[in-house]
Every structure is written in C-alpha cells, then in structure tokens.
Structure 1
Amino acid sequence: MSTLAQLLADAGLPRLEAQLLLHMAGGGNRVTQLTWPEREAGAEVAQRFAALCARRHAGEPIAYLLGEREFFGLDLAVSPAVLIPRPDTEILVDTALARLPADGRALDLGTGSGAVALALAHSRPDADIWALDASPEALAQAQANGQRLNLAVTWRLSDWYAAVTGEQFDLLVSNPPYIAADDPHLQQGDLRFEPAGALTDFADGLSCIRQLIAGAPAHLRLGGWLLMEHGWQQAPAVRELLSAAGFIDVASWQDLAGHERVTGGRWR
C-alpha cells in the first residue's frame, strides 16, 4: 500500500498540483502530507488520486479538477461552463474600483463565474452591482458563487445589453471573448478545455468589443466609464474604436507583465 509521500513522488506533476489533487482525493491537506508523509493512503484514495493525475496529464486545467479558483481574495467555484478567472483580470477590477463613485451602479457584461461582479460587490458593498451572461450554465455558476459568498448582485440572462433596456450605470465592465478565431493558442494548454464562446468571438477578436462600445452610450450615465479587458496586442485598436465612438479620456492600463491589458473611456 502506498504512502502519501510515494503517491506524491510518483505523480509526475508539479508538487503543489500533486498535493492539491491528493487532498481532493482524500489524502489529507498539505499540512498532513508534510507532517506524516509515511501515512498509508489506502486503496480508494490511491485510485482517486491516480485518476485525477491522469486527467491532469491529459491537459485538463487544475482549476476544473479542483472545482475552484481564487480571484481577488475570493474562492470561486468553477466548472467547464465558465472561463477560469486569471490574475490579469484583477487589473480590470482595480481599474473599475478606482472609477466607481460612491453608491454607484456597475454592470459586468459576460460575467462567467461572476468573478468581476463579485469582486466589485465585495470591495464596494455600497454599490449596486449587476451582472449578465448569455449562457444559462455560466449564469447559474455565477449565482451560486454569489449565494455562497453572500454577496448581493443582480443577475440577468442576457445577450449583451438585451435584458437591461432602459437601465443606466456609472460603470460598464467586461472581459469579453477577444481571441481571434484563427489564433493557435485556442488549441493549446488550458484553453482547449474552456468554453470556446467565452474565449473567441469566432471572428477577428474585436467584434464583441465593437458591440460593447456601440451599446454603451445608451446605458452610461454622463461621465460614466466603459472598461474592457482585451488581448495584449489589441489596445491600439480598442482605443481607436472608443475614440471614434465619441468616448473621451481614452486610456489603457498594463498588467503585471507590462502589457496593455485593459482599455476604457468616459462617456461625455
């Protein structure tokens, strides 16, 4: 019968990943694994661990295997129905928080797991946060996260602005599908397992951004901001689209790697 140490050594995975998967399989938490490495795992634990390791070796994202991902200090449940929250998107949250007025209203378009909307609601309990998604499965995941975290967000099933006719906000935020249909990264790494509709617009990577910009004026209060995450090479094109649509104070913000990752503008 294998010990915890033997299972970890034979996993063929980065140690932290192996430790997390062993914990999920019932092999104790990391403290147990480090303190009592000689503990026997048991046949059922070993079998579950082997199955999880096999899925990870096949490329399945660790976040989907664990069923959760931390984002902006919040533990979010995730599944293949939603995009895995990434650190780059925290730049979008930081930029949004700096522009959300006291008691303001914000709308997260294409919320997925609810990561951005819930981060805003957690950081600004005074604000009225709304979020929408066109996928019923994604919206259900976001609502479940909101309920578990006890954070108040108004959820809507909606294809972009369709379900918020007549509503106006101080801030519109979105991490839309922005990968071009022919981008080879869609066939690599974690992206192979994530929902295609949350990654690509099945066009040039800018079509959803154009829709967001076109619909924004009807839903922004005077002086309100539209902020969007985008690909690391798309900032110049997004700035041009915002300026052409009449937005002012158009600017881009960099991620931790120094790439322009978020672009936005203020409605005059």
Structure 2
Amino acid sequence: MILKTLAFAFLLLLNNPAFSSVMVDDFVNQQHNFTPTPSNESSEDDRPEKIIKELFEAKIQASYIKDAAVINNRFFRHGEFLLSRQTDEELELEDERNTPEMKSLCSTSISDGRVYDAFNRLADNFHNHDSINDDYRDFNYVVSKNGTLFIMDAENGCHSYILKSKPEDPYYGIGKPVACAGKMSFSQGKITSINIDSGHYWPFEDQLVLVTHHLFKKGIFANDAKVGIRTYTRLPTDFISRYPRCEWEYEIPLQVFLSITPEEILNKYR
C-alpha cells in the first residue's frame, strides 16, 4: 500500500511543471547507473516521463515477485531450471477445454531444427491454428521441469491446463510447476519471439534466461528472434551497462539476451 501511494505521489509530481526534464533524466540515470547513448532520433516513447513511469511499474512488479517468492514459496530450483507454481489454486474444472487430453494435444517434436505440433504440422502463427489459415495468433507455451516444450493455440485454454495431475487426483485442475510459460511466436517451425506473459504462473526473467538457453541449444530459434521481458530490475546489474540501448525497449534481440549466462542466474540460488 505504501509503495502504491509513493508511486501515485511521484506520478502527480511528474505532471508538475516545476519538475523539470533535467531532474527526471538525473533520476533515470541514477536508477540505471549509466548514461544513455546519444541519438539524433526521438520519439514519444523516449520521453523521460514515460521512462520514469515504467521504472515505477517495474519496481512494483519486482516487489510483487519478491513477496510471492518469499511468502508463497512459488519459485524453486530443479536441476538446470527454476520452477514456478501456479499463482492461485483454483481447480478450474468448470472450463470444458480443461481436459485430460490437453497434454498430448499440446505436445511438440523437433526435427532438423524446427518445431512440429502434436499433429505433425510445422509450428507457424499463420497456418496451424484451429481456425482459418490467415488468422495470425501467438501460441501459449509451457516448458516442463524436464525441459519439454508444449504449445497450444492461445484461444484453446490457459497455460495451467497443459500439465496436470491425473483426473482422479483431488488436485486435478491445478497446473503442475513449470520451468517457464508465456507467449511464443513461430514462423515455419522457428521461434521468432518468446516472453513470460502468463497470468497463471507469473514466471520471471531468471526463468526465461534458463529456458531460452535450453531451447537455443536445440537450434529452433530464428536468427532475428526477440525475447520479451517485463522489467530490467530482474536482470544482472551490469546488463544495462553492457547494452545501454536495450533499456529503451522491452524486447531484446536473442543474441543479446543470451549474453546472460545460466551460471549467472543459478549462482543466485545455491
């Protein structure tokens, strides 16, 4: 409550003409501990006020994740991954899409560096959904504790429907812990984008680093793939100084994101 109050007060301050853009720039640079690379191009997205608001959103998000990890014990290490439990324990039995067959229907296979769905179709945002061929949609994905990739049409259900207990289990309906979950885009079997957009699991950037490296080893990313994140506060402290222009966006080129090593992440969880 205190954090939200402070954030609201600061946003009111942003609208005060006396709060100059110079002061905003000083605050941004102090938070990130770097000086942005000069650019001749400017856009509405580069306004200092927008960056400040995003910083506050990031801090609120980071605070929520930290509290969730400590209080609810949602995150834990398992081999080369960090697993996250479902954020709430609703049984979700009322949804007719939540069936025991969902796991097999969302399975994938990999051949020659390309991902195929459960029906042996190349994973592709344009062509292998259940509706008309020109309907472009992302996929929901989860990666299991053993590193297996599952994908589903984003309209066919939630991330927590894929990996379940047996139907007779009293906890059927609650998703099992996963290494990561979110949205994924494909073109001709190659991953073109991956993020952590899952409200059921709320994974965070450390998990995404580990899973991205795991999938990269399988050779299934497109050369121009992008990685989407929520906040830079969850990345190694020197990341921004290494790649200063990245702080202006929340989509990072794959090769830049892979510069964060699994060792950097896992060393924090020993």
TM-score (ref. length: structure 2): 0.24
Higher helix share: 1
Which structure ranks higher in relative contact order (CA pairs < 8 Å, sequence separation ≥ 6)? 2
